[in-house]
Amino acid sequence: MTVFLIWNSLNDPLFGWLSDRSFLSTPQSGSQISSPEVVLKRLESLARNGPLFALSFLAFWVAWAHPGLQFLICLCLYDGFLTLVDLNHNALLADLAVSANERTRLNFHSSLFSALGSLSVFLSYSFWDKEDFMSFRLFCVALAALSVLGFAVVSRILLRRFQNEVQSHKNGEGDLLKELSLGQSPLAQTEKPITLGEYLKQLSRHRNFMWFVSMNLVQVFHCHFNSNFFPLFLEHLLSDRISASTGSFLLGISYIAPHVNNLYFLTLSQKLGVYRVVRGLFLLKLGLSIAMLLAGADQVYLLCLFIASNRVFTEGTCKLLNLVITDLVDEDFVLNRRQQAASALLFGMVALVTKPGQTFAPLIGTWLLCVYTGYDIFERGPLKDSVAAVGVSGAESSLPLRQGCFYLLVFVPISCALLQLLAWSRFTLHSRRLQGIKARRQGAQHLIDVKAV
């Protein structure tokens, strides 16, 4: 796990840098890289790495090495190809369009098909049998084969269509590139490519980037806290009050609902702007958590609604933030006068800075639960004795397990919401400033003289 933790932390910026380092400046030869060529590079990467990503998933289910070694290799391969696919897929959102409406439309369709893809989670339960893995393995093989075929066919169609559009655009006939605000990069002076250290210095001076990753660090922490402790909350807060099928339904819907809910949030973002929608979600999270705290742990229906909505709204916010990162790509392009936007690299740097939230969410949650209740999830045997001891001794420093889980459930969202509202209030890339940045990105030469750095 230590090896995987290091690999998982470093592969996002590493692959982003390898993908985008040629875009950070103009080579000394003076050759220019146009926006359509950048998109073609992204699509070629998806066509190459997508099938490999699906095959790396398949490698888990066929024994070919010592179990420990196979698990480590498969986990690192899977995470590596997932990172390559995610970075290039997310970067396309910034490279295909500049206008907020077009990006929202692209994200809307992406969320729609992500929701359809998530249905495989429900389907997998039909094949799961802990006594016999054969049917589940066959399901995984079929799923991987379908994914390989899907990646190969769809990426080839996209490549062919975009190559035709690029050729038509050169002849003045294409409509897709005009619709997506793509065109040739403005002429720039030729300078030496910048180093990774210089790029990091530029990012450290990018104030909106720093405030965004501060907010997103808390968001990633909250998302992974919910993912890790959602089953625990169901077990200790609701297991004696709802049926097992209801608990399974809540667990399953928590994976599908964020994608569906995101469709509404994206529609709302077109009317109000992403900044206001995200701020509204933070306020909603704070309000619901305070209301649940006041209502208490005995309100079963409210508790079911809160546990589900807390996860759904938190995951939905995470999916909206990709649009904010694309705006940061625009601002980085303008502030540092780049030849091309380093989209994948910026997505990778955001992932790197926010990775600690993913790592510390289960650690901090487990520690808090242990401190307040004496319950250690890694030592389930002494649980009854620990709880009984708490009830008998009435120690002031401990709480019954159910009450401790409830306080953890409501106080973590309250704390996260307050920290996020503070950071988000310092984020200025919205309204007029955002419009000005997008105008410059789209090539208004009278606003800024774009040059290669």
Residue 372's pLDDT band (cuts 50, 70, 90): confident
Domain boundary assignment for the chain: 2-441
- Amino acid letter, 243: S
Contact in structure between 445 and 186 (CB atoms under 8 Å): yes
Predicted pLDDT of residue 24: 66
CA dihedral sign, ordered 167, 172, 176, 178: positive
Instruction: Tell me the C-alpha distance between 372 and 377, whole Å.
Output: 13
- pLDDT (mean) for 241-246: 73
pTM of the model: 0.83
- pLDDT (mean) for 80-88: 94
CATH value of 2-441 in 1.10.10, 1.10.150, 2.60.120, 1.20.1250: 1.20.1250
| Average pLDDT for the chain | 82
- List, for residues 405-442, the tens digit of each pLDDT value: 899 999 999 999 999 999 999 999 999 999 999 988 88
- List, for residues 45-80, the tens digit of each pLDDT value: 999 999 999 999 988 888 888 888 998 999 999 999
Contact in structure between 97 and 103 (CB atoms under 8 Å): yes
3-state secondary structure of 177: helix
Buried b or exposed e, range 362-394, using 16+ CB within 10 angstroms: eeebbebbbebbbbeeeeeeeeeebbeebeeee
- List, for residues 140-177, the tens digit of each pLDDT value: 989 999 999 999 999 999 888 888 777 776 666 555 55
Predicted pLDDT of residue 382: 43
Radius of gyration (C-alpha) of the chain in whole angstroms? 24
- Judge whether residue 121 has pLDDT over 90: no
Contact in structure between 288 and 306 (CB atoms under 8 Å): yes
- Amino acid letter, 275: Y
Instruction: Tell me the C-alpha distance between 428 and 212, whole Å.
Output: 10
Q: What percent of the chain is predicted at pLDDT more than 70?
A: 83
